[in-house]
Amino acid sequence: MKRSPVSPLNKALVERLKGAFTVPVYDYVPAGKKAPYVVMTDTTAESWDTKTVCGATVMATLKVLSEYQGDKEVAELCDGAISAIRKQPLALEGGWQVVLSSVDSHSVERLETHREATVTFKFTIIDTKE
């Protein structure tokens, strides 16, 4: 990989999610913020090349936190995130193009004071500048 698609992808994800939700969407959680909210967490990129195309497979994870004691709110927020990301291809800056996207995994953890869901998206991205 001669350059990374992580920053343009994260920017596009945050913009898309902010447009889809009334709850806050963060790339970090400011101190003292109360749930519900959505936050981008881990992003990893693995390079791949063919004879004619360069690109990366990128895993991007978001967490959804809810203080609601049932699963309803966290489930609705996760469904909203999945719909927002999958409804149309993300437009990335800098000569990157998302060619495939899918949900790699989704889980909900029932903690004593809140619910915490994790959704990991898998993106196949090509470098149109290479």
pLDDT in tens, 20-63: 999 999 999 999 999 999 999 999 999 999 889 999 999 999 99
- Tell me the average pLDDT across 100-112: 95
Q: Name the pTM for this structure.
A: 0.93
CATH at 14: 3.30.2000.30
Which residue type is seen at 130? Answer: E
Residue at 13 is within a domain: yes
**What confidence score (pLDDT) does residue 14 get?**
96
- Half-sphere exposure (CA, 13 Å, Cβ side) for 21? 27
Residue at 88 is within a domain: yes
Length of the chain: 130
Mean pLDDT of the chain: 94
> What are the structure tokens assigned to 122, written together?
């898998």
Number of domains in the chain: 1
Residue at 96 is within a domain: yes
Residue at 1 is within a domain: no
What's the order of all strands across the beta sheet hosting 96-110? 25-26, 37-49, 54-66, 115-127, 96-110
Beta carbons within 8 Å of 100's beta carbon, 6+ residues apart: 122, 123, 124
Range of the domain at 66: 6-127
> Which residues does residue 91 pair with via DSSP β-bridges, in sequence order?
97
